[in-house]
Amino acid sequence: MVISLSGEKKDKRNGHLVNEDVFYTDENITILMDGATGLGDNELDVYKTSAEWYVAELLQYLKSKLVNQENIELEETVKSAIEYMKERIEAKEEELGIRLKPYEVPSSSLVISRKRRDFLELFSLGDSIILIKRKINDTVEEIRDCNLHKLDNNVWKLMKDISIVEDITIKEARNKPEVIELLRENRQLKNKVGGYYIASNDSSVVSYAYQRKYKLNELEKVFVCTDGFDIDVLGMTKEKFMHNISDNNIEYYAKEIKRKLLEDKNWEKYQNRFKDCDDITAIKVL
């Protein structure tokens, strides 16, 4: 079961509602991406944000290599995919006569799950979330790179400080020059020591990905989602969530998260956000 909801971001050039999450799923393969567009004025596509363009192109490449191809290794495939995207970005820059600044280069988290004989293979790069519940106990394993979240915490603290000093809402503080500058500084820590690792234009990052095989007969549930599917907004522990989640209620939970975030108009109740509501995509793999 899959649910994908657009957030509230609109393309400033044409007003279309943006969704920078993409996915593919069949009985053996699941691919999930959460794109991050650049923090500047340059875009690589006339009709889409750079992130929408990036994840669409990357998804097509991965599908062409992985679907019905059991013997190809995930790390090798992702590495070649990122090398391909580096070439595509450079070609688009030449076509449009632009040169992206480091904080304008698009990127994306990436999760791949694959059933391969008696195992479930997992590959994760970036801050999308994997939750795993085994049959033997109620413990839930969470897989997520939190390095970007730590950097976002610093931005959120700055926004709160500005809101207090200037007597404005946290949401209003989001567009202050010093906040934008810190966001850009953090974006330039992409794929650097002390920063965070994510799919973009540097294939060496695959060595930092989470990779593991699980015995399928030991797993009860596996759930993957982009960071917009924020379980904290539901007021649930990951253990309670994984106990409750099913094909019948995944859409309800996604819509409930979006409803709660949009009701928090000034960003006072739910923290660590830089837009009214992020794109929300979730897939129940098992």
Flag whether pLDDT at 13 surpasses 80.
no
Flag whether pLDDT at 64 surpasses 90.
yes
Strands 219-225, 210-215: pairing kind:
unpaired
Percentage of the residues of the chain whose pLDDT score is greater than 90: 82
pLDDT single digits (tens) 209-249: 999 999 999 999 999 999 999 999 999 999 999 999 999 99
Query: Given pLDDT bands bounded at 50, 70 and 90, which one contains residue 45?
Result: confident
> How far from chain centre, in Å, is Cα 28?
21
The DSSP string of 243-259 is HH--TTTHHHHHHHHHH
Residue 208 DSSP SS3: helix
Instruction: Calculate mean pLDDT across residues 258-284.
Output: 91
| Residue 115: C-alpha distances to residues 52, 221, 251 (Å) | 28, 14, 24
222 contacts 131 by C-beta, under 8 angstroms: yes
pLDDT single digits (tens) 48-60: 899 999 999 999 9
- State residue 140's pLDDT score: 95
116 contacts 71 by C-beta, under 8 angstroms: no
pLDDT single digits (tens) 75-86: 999 999 999 999
CA distance 26 to 149: 30
Instruction: Calculate mean pLDDT across residues 168-196.
Output: 94
Q: What's the alpha-carbon Rg for the chain, to the nearest Å? A: 19
- State residue 111's pLDDT score: 98
| Mean per-residue pLDDT over the chain, rounded | 93
Instruction: Calculate mean pLDDT across residues 256-267.
Output: 94
Flag whether pLDDT at 10 surpasses 90.
no
Could you tell me which residues are beta bridge partners of residue 34?
21, 109
Strand order from edge to edge, sheet including 210-215: 21-25, 29-36, 107-116, 119-125, 210-215
- State residue 43's pLDDT score: 87
Helices (H), the chain: 50-66, 74-96, 147-166, 170-173, 177-187, 238-244, 250-263
- State residue 284's pLDDT score: 96
pLDDT, greater one: 108 or 44:
108
Length of the chain: 286
Flag whether pLDDT at 11 surpasses 90.
no
Among 5-14, 112-121, 266-275, the range of highest mean pLDDT: 112-121
pLDDT single digits (tens) 103-157: 999 999 999 999 999 999 999 999 999 999 999 888 899 999 999 989 999 999 9
Q: What's the pTM?
A: 0.94
Alpha-carbon torsion 189, 194, 199, 201, what sign? positive
- State residue 134's pLDDT score: 94
Amino acid found at 170: I
